[in-house]
């Protein structure tokens, strides 16, 4: 373990299972937002359009901010600051129905989620959470503590094939790999590590410790190559993965990438990021797809 990894382990915040399990899906890395660098924020995907509080404490402030101009997004996003005792929690992407001085408990509604220009069209509405130490500016986009979750994530093997079960303007969901049973699962690397992040359209991602996300050593020790579908897709340092220069293909045609996250949704399925406006192919429900990965001189990066 490097000195930096040891420091991160000492200062990290661990989100308990009874909080995480209120949400069908979560991701520490699948975002271009700077707060997610090295897993310092988590996106929690609720059922429905109500943003449930992942923390308990007193609301310190709410603030409305402008967000990137996107045709699918609202004009403004929102920040909710909550005093959680030892730290300040930052919650984004929820239109606040609370105000300074209100007390909230875990699971209380904070307001409706918003479609923010800070995330891609293919990303579902979610509650973004991070933590700051007192004395650190809670309004800045960076400076939060490393985050971890106290739930196991099971690796799910995939051969790259599947049938399209659902489509949207910029994604296609496959019916494979399948995940049946309780608990969270994520797409497995060739070495069997559950993966997280946008491959390769965001420059970095992460990998979960097999059997325990936080683990006794806060992830993995040392650097190692990361493979998927028989191709090297990046290099891991601890739990963090820098994606390499690769292209994801679906039926031989380049697409933007794969959206990787932890999910306990029955059936699971790989999510392809496809942007027709950028030249990606469009898929229809019922179409059979084979995904492959190849090296490239310049990967598509959206961050």
Work out the number of other CB atoms within 10 angstroms of the CB of residue 135: 7
Local confidence band at 8 (pLDDT 50, 70, 90 cut-offs): low
Write the CATH number for 59: 2.70.70.10
Of the residues 101, 126, 145, which one is the last residue of a structural domain? 145
pTM here is 0.91
- 207 and 277 fall within a common domain: yes
Residue-level pLDDT at 291: 98
Q: Which of 145, 163, 194 is the last residue of a domain?
A: 145
* DSSP labels, 122-162: TSPP-EEEEEEETTS-TTSSS-PPPEEESS-EEEE---SEE
* Pair 174, 212 in one domain: yes
At 9, the pLDDT band (50, 70, 90 cuts) reads low
Question: 203 with 246, same domain?
Answer: yes
* Phi, psi angles (nearest 5°) of residue 58: -105, 130
pLDDT at position 216, please? 33
Task: State the DSSP string of 12-41.
Answer: -EEE-HHHHTTSSEEESS---SGGGTTS--
Q: Which domain holds residue 56?
A: 41-145
Backbone angles phi, psi at 25, to 5 degrees: -140, 155
Give the whole-number percent of the chain exceeding pLDDT 70: 92
Same domain, 256 and 194: yes
- CA distances to 80, 128, 185, 273 from 242, rounded to whole Å, are 31, 22, 21, 19
For residue 55, the tally of other CB atoms under 10 A from its CB is: 23
9 located within any domain: no
Token pair, residue 41, equals 């924020």
Q: What is the pLDDT of residues 248-274, one digit of tens each?
A: 999 999 999 999 999 998 888 999 999
Report whether pLDDT(180) > 50. yes
Identify whether the C-beta of residue 108 lies closer than 8 Å to the C-beta of residue 50.
no
pLDDT digits (tens, 9 = 90+) for 181-217: 789 999 999 999 999 999 999 999 999 875 444 433 3
Residue 272 domain-assigned (yes or no): yes
Both 163 and 86 in one domain: the answer is no
| pLDDT score at 254 | 97
């Amino acid at each position: 373990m490097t000195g930096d990894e040891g420091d991160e382990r000492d200062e990290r915040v661990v989100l308990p299972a009874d909080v995480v399990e209120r949400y069908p899906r979560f991701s520490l890395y699948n975002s271009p937002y700077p707060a997610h660098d090295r897993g310092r924020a988590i996106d929690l995907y609720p059922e429905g359009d109500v943003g449930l509080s992942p923390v308990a404490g007193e609301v310190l402030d709410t603030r409305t901010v402008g967000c990137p101009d996107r045709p699918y997004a609202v004009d403004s996003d929102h920040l909710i600051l909550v005093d959680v005792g030892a730290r300040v929690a930052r919650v984004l992407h929820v239109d606040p129905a609370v105000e300074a001085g209100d007390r909230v408990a875990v699971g209380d509604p904070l307001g409706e989620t918003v479609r923010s220009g800070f995330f891609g069209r293919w990303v579902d509405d979610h509650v973004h959470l991070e933590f700051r130490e007192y004395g650190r500016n809670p309004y800045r986009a960076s400076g939060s503590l490393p985050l971890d979750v106290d739930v196991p994530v099971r690796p799910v093997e995939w051969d790259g094939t599947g049938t399209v079960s659902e489509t949207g303007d910029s994604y296609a969901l496959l019916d494979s790999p399948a995940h049946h049973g309780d608990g969270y699962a994520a797409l497995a690397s060739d070495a069997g590590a559950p993966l997280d992040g946008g491959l390769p359209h965001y420059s970095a991602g992460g990998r979960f410790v097999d059997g325990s996300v936080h683990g006794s050593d806060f992830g993995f020790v040392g650097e190692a190559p990361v493979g998927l579908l028989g191709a090297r897709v990046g290099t891991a340092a601890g739990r963090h993965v820098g994606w390499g220069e690769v292209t994801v293909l679906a039926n031989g045609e380049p697409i933007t990438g794969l959206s990787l996250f932890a999910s306990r949704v029955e059936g699971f399925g790989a999510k392809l990021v496809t942007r027709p406006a950028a030249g990606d192919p469009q898929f229809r429900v019922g179409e059979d797809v084979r995904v492959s990965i190849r090296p490239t001189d310049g990967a598509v990066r959206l961050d």
